[in-house]
Amino acid sequence: MAVGKGPYLKHTTFMLRLPSLALLLLCIWPHASKATEPAADKSVTASKKGFGLPERKGMDATHLALLKVGWYYNWGDHTKLTTHAQFVPMTFSGRREPPKNKEKILLGFNEPDHLKQANLTPAAALEKWPALVAKSETIIAPALAGNPLKSEWLTTFLKANPKVDAIAVHWYKGADSARFIKDLEEIHARFQKPLWVTEFAPQTMADSAENPTQFTQVQVNTFIAETTAFMEKTPWVARYAWHHSGVGTSALFTKDGQLTETGQAYAAVKK
């Protein structure tokens, strides 16, 4: 009897300990998983895909629905549209007053380094900036016309340590997704803040008007697929918005408001 009880008791004890060990692992595992997840950024929402909607030029909620975007802006601080998409206001330039009410997100000045846009020096922008900060929970830096790494404008602006929650980027350098991704990676590495790509396309409106077929439809479709796939999977890209060129292969809509092939490709991007 004594010889038989020893192995039996050991086996029983081992079996009893297994559930306890499993329970301990189950308790530890969720915490270990969470520790490896990147911290959520307050400027990131469930939908990154958006559109810069020229509302004053007749575009409306129908266009947003066709593109299946989750947010939009119109270069102004208010909208007349009723839509499921989130409206993000902008204080276009130093000549515009900040929004009357406090906004969840506010886009800063539009292309202050461009004579025909906001046209502000860093010093002038900094003088106006506190009024914008007071009217926003999350504020996006002024969006430069050029690459912020090749201009001193944003570096000079940020040296004063203003409140900035994300960096805005405009990009028009052809249908080269590798270059696009490299530029975004370098901008993020320099400034260490989330990015809002508020304008991007192979061509600007002016370039498209001059040479509408410079890039083939296949090139543009590939560019859309590769760049949006990168931005969707990259946690530090908070939002992005294609810029409608009006004509050519960077245009999202025909003159009668229907989706072009480029528009169809952008609409097909899963947000």
What is the extent of the structural domain holding 21? 1-34
Instruction: Specify if 225 maps to a domain.
Output: yes
Q: Could you give the CA distance from residue 195 to residue 180 in angstroms, rounded to a whole number? A: 13
pTM here?
0.83
DSSP string, 29-63: HHHHHHHTSPPPPTT--S--EEEE--GGGT--HHH
Give the mean pLDDT of 51-59: 90
Instruction: Specify if 40 maps to a domain.
Output: no
Q: Which residues, 6 or more positions from 219, have their beta carbon under 8 angstroms from its beta carbon?
A: 175, 202, 249
Query: Is residue 121 located within the same domain as residue 202?
Result: yes
More confident residue, 42 or 124: 124
CA-based torsion, 56, 59, 65, 66: positive or negative: negative
Query: Is residue 91 located within the same domain as residue 165?
Result: yes
Instruction: Specify if 12 maps to a domain.
Output: yes
Judge contact between 181 and 58, C-beta under 8 A: no
Query: Is residue 74 located within the same domain as residue 195?
Result: yes
Query: Is residue 72 located within the same domain as residue 25?
Result: no
Q: For 117-145, what is each residue's pLDDT tens digit?
A: 999 999 999 999 999 999 999 999 999 99
Q: Which domain CATH number covers 123?
A: 3.20.20.80
Q: How confident is the model at residue 46 (pLDDT cuts 50, 70, 90)?
A: low
Query: Is residue 147 located within the same domain as residue 91?
Result: yes
Q: For 235-255, what is each residue's pLDDT tens digit?
A: 999 999 999 999 999 999 999
More confident residue, 1 or 134: 134
Query: Is residue 25 located within the same domain as residue 139?
Result: no
The residue behind tokens 């469930």 is: 46
Give the mean pLDDT of 19-46: 38
pLDDT at 70 over 90: yes
Query: Is residue 19 located within the same domain as residue 55?
Result: no
Q: How confident is the model at residue 57 (pLDDT cuts 50, 70, 90)?
A: confident
Instruction: Specify if 44 maps to a domain.
Output: no
Query: Is residue 60 located within the same domain as residue 124?
Result: yes
Query: Is residue 198 located within the same domain as residue 132?
Result: yes
pLDDT of 238: 98
Query: Is residue 26 located within the same domain as residue 84?
Result: no
Question: How many domains would you assign to the chain?
Answer: 2
Instruction: Specify if 39 maps to a domain.
Output: no
Average pLDDT, the chain: 87
Query: Is residue 180 located within the same domain as residue 95?
Result: yes
Instruction: Specify if 242 maps to a domain.
Output: yes
